[in-house]
Amino acid sequence: MQKIVLKEVVDYLHKVYPNASIGVGGSVALGTYGVDSDVDIIFQREDCRKSFLLSFYSNGIKVSIFSFSKKLFLENERKYLLAFNSMPITFISSVSVLYDDYGLIVELKEIVRNLVERRKVLRYIFIDELKREISEQLQLDLFSILELKIRVYTIVSRIICLFYLKFHAGRIVPKQERCNPYLVIKRDDYILYEKLKECLPYDSNSYNCVRDLFENYIQKKY
């Protein structure tokens, strides 16, 4: 059914916007979709200056139409360089082009490729930057349990980003792994995996656990 819905939507878009660039991404593009999978479409026009997402249902299948502006990547460049779990990076890299007479999708793919290449080349600079950020976070005062949990979550997220910068800076992380990176962490850095487990669940003891992890392992090994 996904292929039928995809064809209907793409045919309509191409008829109404013949000069637009259209592609399909996600599991449908990769051929890994199931009966409940969404249909993810990229839609680019030269006169479109803003990113947007439009979602609807067709024959019980959720359809999402994405459009990405170049401004989005400029404004969020640091996030895309430091983080491993950026949806636009994963999605755009998976897109199969259907219509692209003006090369708009190819241009986006080149932007993504350059970002990933820069992340790989400059990974040690970014690792040092993240370590400084974590160190500063650990020096701030805490005033409530809620603030403590938020701080711990933020630091753990940064530590996972450090892991990916060290081991996988040049790799685009697939959606399933973005949602659960711990299997890869367990495989490539078992000590880190075990220490992250010790920090769970996030409670009053987690802060000291995270501090110990950072000061006695991350600072020395990363």
pLDDT, averaged in runs of 10, over the chain (222 residues)? 92 97 92 89 92 95 95 92 90 95 96 95 96 95 89 95 97 91 97 95 89 96 95
Together in a domain, 64 and 13: yes
Together in a domain, 66 and 48: yes
Together in a domain, 133 and 75: no
Together in a domain, 64 and 154: no
Q: SS3 letters for the chain?
A: CHHHHHHHHHHHHHHHCCCCEEEEEHHHHHCCCCCCCCEEEEEECCCCCCCEEEEEEECCEEEEEEECCHHHHHHCHHHHHHCCCCHHHHHHHHCEEEECCCCHHHHHHHHHHHHHHHHHHCHHHHHHHHHHHHHHHHHCCCCCHHHHHHHHHHHHHHHHHHHHHHHHCCCCCCHHHHHCCHHHHHHHCHHHHHHHHHCCCCCCCHHHHHHHHHHHHHHHHC
Say what the pTM is.
0.87
Give the pLDDT score at 39: 96
Together in a domain, 77 and 150: no
Domains of the chain: total: 2
Together in a domain, 57 and 147: no
- What residues make up the domain containing 108? 2-115
Give the pLDDT score at 31: 86
